[in-house]
């Protein structure tokens, strides 16, 4: 069986380095808000090109804290793609704000910037873009709208560590394309730890201080609480693991690009629609999503031929039971996507033989 994602193999490559960093932590006996957190967040900010990075407990918290720190609350509307993973939307509703769903482009799966303006009202406060499946959103039109209507821009970068867009001839990475960005380091992400982890990146000094304080019980200094805060921290062990793996992220993303290129050049089957990418640097292929009419039949066929796949995701947020109030809304493109998508295995540790076998099996379908 070709696994969808072999996490053991992925992390085993760094076993010695991870072992030695964890040993250091054990020797020191310091587990939270220490040196490892400082080192990793500094390095990750530098990687993204931002002034600040704040380590938090997970990706959902990162988004949640950004919205909280921006001061958005009940009645405020935040624009978000309808086909995102539910976490983006939960972060909005957990703050009492209203998500305003916008359809994606069916070929890139990212928010369709041409459908945003008609959704802007006097209550709109922010546009949350999601670099879905690993592909950076092309931001120009979104920046223009934000400027025109005085809106904040928030990135959900949980699936796209290292992806970038061309800004005046320079590649700018996700995390550095908005007022503030949330990252997840869930084990399966392109940069993943060995448990839960997340981060916020921003160039805004004031916002960074505020998020740091809110994430630490709302305190700006010891036992002095200026916000009704929460507890959301990136622990020392996760920070150390991430700092080890960050050095290899570009290389790993390059291998994902290679595999994706091979898939896109060699999968030739009229029943399978391949994903589109803007250009080479825009995509880090967190997942390789194809579409096909009889998706469940195709998934069974792949499984019968020793290939494990996953659906990202089978049900869109507005059709979930927890959002009953939206169940009757209609987002035809989003619904079509969720009905027909399936993710083929892609990861930096897949062998050429595995990739070839997958292409052969898909072409024979």
Instruction: Classify residue 92 by burial, with Cβ atoms within 10 Å: 0-12, 13-18, 19+.
Output: buried
Tell me the DSSP string of 209-245: HHHHHHHBTTEEETTEESS---B---BHHHHHHHHHH
**Using the rule CB under 6 A, which residue among 25, 56, 154, 158 binds ligand PLP?**
158
Q: How crowded is residue 254: how many other Cβ atoms within 10 Å of its Cβ?
A: 12
- The residue count for binding ligand PLP (CB under 6 A) is 15
- For β-strands 219-221 and 224-225, DSSP reports them as antiparallel
- Binding status of residue 174 toward ligand PLP by CB under 6 A: no
Residues 128-147 that bind ligand PLP (CB under 6 A): 130
The helix or strand, by DSSP H or E, that contains position 175, with its residue range, turns out to be none
- Binding status of residue 184 toward ligand PLP by CB under 6 A: yes
Distance, in Å, from the CA atom of 286 to the CA atom of 269, rounded to the nearest integer, reads 23
Tokens coding 355: 């990739």
Closest CA to 23 of 237, 326, 302, 263: 237
Residue 84 CB, shortest distance to ligand PLP, in Å, is 6
Residue 364 CB, shortest distance to ligand PLP, in Å, is 32
Comparison of 158 and 191: residue with beta carbon closer to ligand PLP: 158
Omega before 100 within 30 of 0, i.e. cis: no
Task: Name the closest residue to ligand PLP (Cβ).
Answer: 59
Residue 352 CB, shortest distance to ligand PLP, in Å, is 28
Residue 12 CB, shortest distance to ligand PLP, in Å, is 22
Q: In the block, which residue shows the tokens 């085993």?
A: 12
Distance, in Å, from the CA atom of 184 to the CA atom of 86, rounded to the nearest integer, reads 14
Residue 91 CB, shortest distance to ligand PLP, in Å, is 8
Comparison of 196 and 235: residue with beta carbon closer to ligand PLP: 196
Closest CA to 122 of 76, 178, 74, 81: 76
Residue 109 CB, shortest distance to ligand PLP, in Å, is 11
Comparison of 47 and 133: residue with beta carbon closer to ligand PLP: 133
Comparison of 58 and 124: residue with beta carbon closer to ligand PLP: 58
- Binding status of residue 198 toward ligand PLP by CB under 6 A: yes
Stretch that binds ligand PLP, among 10-18, 121-129, 153-161, 206-214 (CB under 6 A): 153-161
Closest CA to 284 of 131, 59, 58: 131
| Spatial contact of 272 and 358, defined as CB atoms under 8 Å apart | no
**Using the rule CB under 6 A, which residue among 109, 186, 323, 331 binds ligand PLP?**
186
Residues 40-99 that bind ligand PLP (CB under 6 A): 58-60, 84-85, 87-88
Number of H helices, E strands in the chain: 12, 13
Half-sphere exposure of 187 (CA within 13 A, CB side): 9
Comparison of 58 and 176: residue with beta carbon closer to ligand PLP: 58
Comparison of 186 and 285: residue with beta carbon closer to ligand PLP: 186
Residue 20 CB, shortest distance to ligand PLP, in Å, is 26
Residue 85 CB, shortest distance to ligand PLP, in Å, is 4
- Site for ligand PLP, rule CB under 6 A: 58-60, 84-85, 87-88, 130, 156, 158-159, 184, 186, 196, 198
């Amino acid at each position: 069986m070709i696994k969808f994602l072999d996490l053991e193999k992925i992390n085993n490559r760094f076993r010695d380095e991870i072992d030695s960093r964890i040993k250091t932590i054990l020797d020191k006996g310091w587990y939270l808000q220490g040196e490892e957190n400082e080192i990793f967040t500094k390095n990750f900010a530098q990687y993204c090109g931002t002034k600040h990075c704040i380590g938090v407990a997970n990706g959902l918290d990162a988004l949640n804290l950004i919205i909280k720190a921006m001061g958005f609350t009940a009645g405020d509307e935040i624009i978000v793609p309808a086909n995102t993973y539910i976490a983006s939307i939960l972060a909005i509703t957990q703050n009492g704000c209203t998500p305003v769903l916008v359809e994606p482009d069916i070929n890139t799966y990212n928010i369709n910037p041409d459908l945003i303006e008609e959704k802007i009202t006097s209550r709109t406060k922010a546009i949350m873009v999601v670099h879905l499946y690993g592909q950076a959103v092309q931001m120009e039109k979104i920046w223009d709208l934000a400027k025109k209507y005085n809106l904040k821009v928030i990135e959900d970068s949980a699936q796209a560590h290292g992806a970038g867009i061309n800004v005046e001839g320079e590649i700018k990475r996700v995390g550095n394309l908005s007022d503030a960005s949330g990252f997840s380091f869930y084990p399966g992400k392109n940069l993943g730890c060995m448990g839960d982890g997340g981060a916020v990146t921003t160039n805004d000094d004031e916002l960074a201080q505020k998020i740091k304080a809110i994430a630490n019980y709302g305190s700006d200094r010891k036992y002095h609480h200026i916000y009704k805060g929460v507890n959301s921290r990136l622990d020392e062990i996760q920070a150390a693991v991430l700092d080890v793996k960050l050095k290899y992220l570009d290389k790993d993303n390059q291998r994902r690009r290679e595999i994706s290129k091979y898939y896109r050049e060699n999968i030739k089957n009229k029943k399978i629609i391949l994903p589109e990418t803007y250009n080479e640097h825009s995509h880090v292929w967190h997942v390789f999503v194809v579409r096909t009419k009889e998706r469940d039949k195709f998934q069974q066929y792949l499984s019968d031929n020793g290939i494990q796949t996953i659906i990202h995701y089978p049900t869109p947020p507005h059709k979930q039971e927890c959002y009953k109030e939206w169940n009757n809304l209609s987002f035809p493109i989003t619904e079509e996507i969720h009905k027909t998508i399936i993710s083929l295995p892609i990861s930096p540790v897949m062998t050429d033989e595995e990739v070839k076998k997958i292409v052969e099996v898909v072409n024979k379908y």
